[in-house]
Structure 1
Amino acid sequence: MATLSITSGNLMVSIMFLIGLLMPTLQIAGVQSIGVCYGNNGDNLPSAQEVIDLYKSRNIGGMRLYYANQAALQALRGSTIQVILGVHNERLQEFAANPSTVNSWVQTNVRNYPDVKFRYIAIGNEVIPGGLAQYVLPAMQNIRSALVSAGLQDQIKVSTSVSTGVLGISFPPSHGSFSNEALTYLRPIVQFLVSNGSPLLANVYPYFSYVNNLNSISLPYALFTSPSTVVTDDQFQYQNLFDAIMDAVYAALEKVGGPNVVIVVSESGWPSAGGTAATSDNARTYNANLIGHVARGTPRRSGRAIDTYVFAMFNENQKQPPGVEQNFGLFYPNKQPVYPISFP
């Protein structure tokens, strides 16, 4: 996950789980997917079967897998959990160059699991801009071709997951645009998304924008608790930072021919320990308010529910650097909640 300032654009959001203490009767009308990211950067995490059982018992309807974890895929068989399946960053060059490797991967990890509800395949995570960015589009094209061969192109959409580091301008939201470095890769990727009816996956983290701009961003604005409008931008009014970040990305998409590309929040969350404003109360407040808010959309896309995946299922003790990165979990490795939560 990227740690970016608001001026360079910090993006990343995810969630869709209810926090019973704060919003016990919340209805998530119209949201297509409510999920939680399942990371594995820990040496004390439960088995994959225990994890999937926990998802089921907590009524969590979506999961982001960062790679083709065979144990997790086996445990997902026959469940109703909708899955974002990732391709590791280190495999991008191989996937871009070798369609046969991609076909084999799709056979092994997708076609062999007809009873797993795959929704998206994410080609890389936060690699644009950067040294691996050149491989993203050809890898996406090869995955798409493999899905077409399998007759799965309408069922499973291909995308990539970006941070808000792709934004060169993020404020005001209507001025949102991709940086020149990112635009080289994103312009043709957006056209791929348009052509295939795929969303852009974005990791949206108001937390990092807040901690990197303490003098200009208030905590209530970041936590969805501001009592009134904070930013007015043309006809749009912003009462929370999440909306401002999202609409900056929407504005950037519009500028490169993607006005109808939908954003799926592939990560979002708030740490409960380890750094500035990282408390259980703040994490609970953010996620509870996020859950209720994404059902309504943003000022620029009002009424359009946002598929959202909260980061993350567990506190992961091997994430680097130590501190907040290890404390985004909804659960401890012993499967006990970090704070009281419930799911719709």
Structure 2
Amino acid sequence: MGSKWDIFTFTTTLLLLLQMITFVGAKQIGVCYGLNGDNLPSPTDVINLYKQSGIGFLRIYEPYPEVLDALRASALLVAVGPRNEEIPSLSQSLDAANEWVKANIAPYADTVAFRWITIGNEVIPGEYAPYVAQAIENMHNAISSAGFDYIMVTTVVPSNVLGNSYPPSAGAFSDETRSNMIDIASVLSETGAPLMLNVYPYFAYAADPSHISLNYALFNSTEAVVIDGQYKYYNLFDAMVDAVHAALESVNHGNVKITIAETGWPSDGNPPFSSIENAETYNKNFYDHVTKQGTPRRPDDVMEAFFFEMFNEDMKPTEVDKHFGFFYPNMQPVYPFW
């Protein structure tokens, strides 16, 4: 007879596979679930809304027990991570990583389909950046020793980890982020986990509408806008992602794949750039694009991806940040999508 961990792992994996099979109608794309609102529905109602909408993946920004309890037996594939301020201790101590797994993964792993653990959300560049690679390694070792090695451990970075991204083939990590990104990419190369990337064509377009066309930002261009050697770019999203691919290649880690941790378009808060029409157009076109094909540089790599986000959240710091949701807090859709 195998060890108790062998039996536990087999049972857990079988249960999660059975859950996923029963959720065959789910769309293979996710939505981030933030809680920065004072009028949001209960976690149970939210998870039911995910299931009713046929959404396949869910990302939360820390292990809220009430959300994890609501996720039990939901079959949603889950991304979760520690709070950014926990990263130094997770980096400096394998025991800290073991305790985090014991407290936040083990009690739920028999009925919650964890797929990703995210060590840091946009902490590079920043004070926590030097700790991320070792924290990923410690967390990977912790989940492996606990029998959860089907969970991938990674980090979430913003597009501004690049110092140069035009044309996309010139993508390179900035001087400030280069050494940290090399360390992170080295760990991900060894473990096989993807790099998670936040990509927002909206912000690039809104900052420079005289040089970036709305059609290029919304996936509506019918002709190549950027031609970079053999690669033709019809949308800004592909160009932004391929710049990161090029940066990974430049540090000899082109084998690291990318998962989109956040993307979206606000329905209000900064008109005329933000509008319901533009949000609906971007998100529908993004969905049609990313679920069928990769980028020009990686045409066969269909990326896993998360939209940002499920609800309009009234406690976000800026007006535009409050309007990325697919749903109002009363669970009525902002526009037809799901």
Same fold (TM over 0.5): yes
* Seq. identity, %: 48
CA contact (8 A) 1:246 1:298 kept: yes
In structure 2, the partner of 1:201 is: 196
**Counterpart among 147, 164, 173 of residue 178 in structure 1:** 173
- Greater Cα shift, 170-179 or 84-93: 84-93
CA offsets 1:190-239 (integer angstroms, 9 cap, x no match): 00000000100000000001111111100000000112111100000011
Tell whether 2:37 aligns with 1:63: no
Tell me if structure 1 keeps the 8 A contact 2:216–2:236: yes
Counterparts of residues 269-280 of structure 1 (less than 5 Å): 269-276=264-271, 277-280=273-276
The 8 Å contact of residues 269 and 312 in structure 1, kept in 2 or not, is answered as yes
Partner-residue secondary structure (3-state), 1:111 = coil
In the alignment, is the contact (CA less than 8 A) between 1:191 and 1:257 conserved in 2?
Answer: no
Quote the Cα distance in structure 2 between the aligned partners of 1:264 and 1:304.
10
What's the CA shift for 1:251? 0.4
Instruction: Report if the CA contact (8 A) 1:37-1:310 is conserved.
Output: yes
Equivalent in the alignment of 2:305: 308
The aligned length equals: 310
| CA offsets 1:59-99 (integer angstroms, 9 cap, x no match) | 11100010001111111111210011122111112222232
Contact kept? 1:177, 1:251, Cα under 8 Å: yes
C-alpha contact 2:28 2:55 (8 A) present in aligned 1? no
SS of match in other structure, 2:306: strand
The structural deviation recorded for 1:105 is: 1.4
Offset, 1:32: 8.9
List runs of 5+ in structure 1 lacking aligned partners. Answer: 1-30
Structure 1 residues 32 and 202: CA distance shift in structure 2, 3 A: farther
What's the TM-score, normalizing by structure 2?
0.90
Superposed, 1:119-138 pairs within 5 Å as 119-138=115-134
Q: Which runs of 5+ in 2 are unaligned?
A: 1-25
Deviation, 1:148, is 1.5
Partner-residue secondary structure (3-state), 1:207 = helix
CA contact (8 A) 2:118 2:154 kept: yes
Give the residue type in structure 2 aligned to 1:337: P
| Selected match of 2:250 from 239, 255, 260 | 255
Q: Is the 2:31–2:308 Cα contact (8 Å) retained in structure 1?
A: yes
Separation of aligned partners in 1, 2:308 and 2:229:
32
1:161 aligned partner? 156
Does the 8 Å contact 2:27/2:55 carry over to 1?
A: no
Counterparts of 2:170 and 2:258, CA distance in 1: 17
**What RMSD in Å do the two structures reach over aligned CA positions?**
1.2
The structure, 1 or 2, with the larger RCO (C-alpha pairs under 8 Å, 6+ apart) is 1
Q: Which amino acid in structure 1 is aligned with residue 310 of structure 2?
A: M
- The amino acid that maps onto 1:173 is P
Looking at structure 1, the residues matched to 317 and 85 of structure 2 have their Cα atoms a distance apart, in angstroms, of 18
Is structure 2 residue 256 aligned with structure 1 residue 292?
A: no
> Is the radius of gyration larger for structure 1 or structure 2?
2
Matches within 5 A, 1:34-113: 34-113=29-108
For residues 76 and 66 of structure 1, what CA distance do their matches in structure 2 show?
Answer: 14
What is the CA deviation profile of residues 244-283 of structure 1, one whole-angstrom value per residue up to 9, with x for unaligned ones?
0010010001111211111000000000000041000100
